[in-house]
Amino acid sequence: MSREITPRPLTAEAFAPFGDLLDTSRGPDFLINEGLCGRHHDRARLEFGGGAPGLSLFDAVPRSLPYRFDLVERHPRGSQAFVPMCLCSFLVIVAPDAGGTPGTPQAFLTAPGQAVNLHRATWHGVLTPLEAPGLFAVVDRVGAGENLEEYRYPEGWVVVP
Amino acid sequence: MSREITPRPLTAEAFAPFGDLLDTSRGPDFLINEGLCGRHHDRARLEFGGGAPGLSLFDAVPRSLPYRFDLVERHPRGSQAFVPMCLCSFLVIVAPDAGGTPGTPQAFLTAPGQAVNLHRATWHGVLTPLEAPGLFAVVDRVGAGENLEEYRYPEGWVVVP
């Protein structure tokens, strides 16, 4: 039997243990281009240990709630930022580390116009868009060396609406 | 009197002298997440000379055509990637370098789902979304040291529909 998780709206405070929320709610740090563009500057704690920063696109199959999962993963050498390329909500599943394996997962639902950056070595679910197209720009570590740990929970979880 | 430029659709080939087109048209480099996500891997030539990579949001006022401009700029120390956070088209104005100043500008019109990365020291116009919200994630160099050159054409240009 799966255990249920209800997603919370994504806020910077609630997400702080896991990563950075990128949105415009705090207002711009400064204006550029003769005042016509707000720059929300350097909003993510990026890490690319032993590798280089890369910019990739991820094109994922949209999911729906209830969403069942038992697999999470983490990248011990680097952060991973996900920028939706549509005004879409997506599901962000994360879990605290509990001595080398993930603890109880938490789920967040983004609002349109929000992106996230997962800090290095943060346990997280696979990319789960809830609308088509499931298209994201991803900033993460490129380079040699193992950078993926996976963990399968002995019992599954289900994210319910 | 302004000189007219007609924008072209953005293609990787036409844009190659100026930067990288990021989209899914070439197909994924590999599949991840049990086949449910295509990874279009490491598609941008990123440079952050003497600084660090940063992830910022830009929130720009949408423009419309005809669009008049006389100012272009470039960043001698780093690349700059623009990822639209809506399924929106935007205008990309670039110019070849001609001995330290920009030559004749060119304009490209993106399709929804396309992002761009301007190579280091590429002359370009300011960010010009054509639809609201003019919201972009930007990957560029963060750090000390002058990284902006501006040039104002003695005669203006106008991008016409």
List the single residue in B83, B126, B139 with the smallest CB-CB distance to A85.
B83
- Summarize pLDDT for B112-134 with one digit per residue, the tens: 999 999 999 999 999 999 999 99
Those residues whose C-beta lies under 8 Å from the C-beta of residue B134, and which sit 6 or more positions away, are A37, B58, B59, B60, B61, B62, B90, B127
pTM, full prediction: 0.97
Q: Dig out the tokens for B92 from the structure.
A: 């990309």
Q: Which residues of B touch A22 (CB under 8 A)?
A: 55, 57, 137
- Summarize pLDDT for A88-109 with one digit per residue, the tens: 999 999 999 999 999 999 999 9
In terms of CA atoms, which chain B residue is nearest residue A82? Answer: B137
In terms of CA atoms, which chain A residue is nearest residue B114? Answer: A85
3 state SS for B1-14: CCEEECCEECCHHH
Q: Which residues of B touch A86 (CB under 8 A)?
A: 85-87
Say if strands B149-159 and B3-5 run parallel, antiparallel, or are unpaired: parallel
CB contact under 8 A, B23 and A57: yes
Cross-strand pairs, A152 = A71
Q: Which residues of B touch A128 (CB under 8 A)?
A: none
CB contact under 8 A, A43 and B28: no
* Chain A closest-CA separation from residue B103 CA (Å): 21
Q: What is the pLDDT, as a whole number, of residue A1? A: 57
* Average pLDDT score over residue span A150-159: 97
Q: What is the pLDDT, as a whole number, of residue A117? A: 98
Whether residue B82 contacts residue B138, with contact meaning beta carbons closer than 8 Å, is answered with: yes
- Summarize pLDDT for B129-144 with one digit per residue, the tens: 999 999 999 999 999 9
Q: What is the pLDDT, as a whole number, of residue A99? A: 96
List the single residue in A46, A55, A59 with the smallest CB-CB distance to B38.
A59
Q: What is the pLDDT, as a whole number, of residue B47? A: 98
Q: Answer yes or no: is pLDDT of A39 > 90.
A: yes
Distance CA B69, CA B49 (A): 29
* Chain A closest-CA separation from residue B3 CA (Å): 22
List the single residue in A113, A133, A137 with the smallest CB-CB distance to B135.
A113
Distance CA A57, CA A22 (A): 18
CB contact under 8 A, A142 and B42: yes
* Average pLDDT score over residue span A27-39: 96
Q: What is the pLDDT, as a whole number, of residue B1? A: 57
Architecture of the domain whose range is B3-159: Sandwich (2.60)
Q: Which residues of A touch B93 (CB under 8 A)?
A: none
* Average pLDDT score over residue span A22-29: 97
Q: Which residues of A touch B55 (CB under 8 A)?
A: 22, 42-44, 46, 81, 117, 139
In terms of CA atoms, which chain B residue is nearest residue A143? Answer: B42
Residue numbers in chain B where pLDDT is lower than 50: none
C-alpha B139 chain-centroid distance:
11
Distance CA A39, CA B137 (A): 10
Q: Answer yes or no: is pLDDT of A136 > 70.
A: yes
* Average pLDDT score over residue span A103-119: 98
Q: What is the mean pLDDT of chain A?
A: 97
CB contact under 8 A, A84 and B85: yes
Q: Is the peptide bond before A133 cis (omega within 30 degrees of 0)?
A: yes
Q: What is the mean pLDDT of chain B?
A: 97
Neighbours of B11 (CB within 10 A): 14
Size (chain A), residues: 161
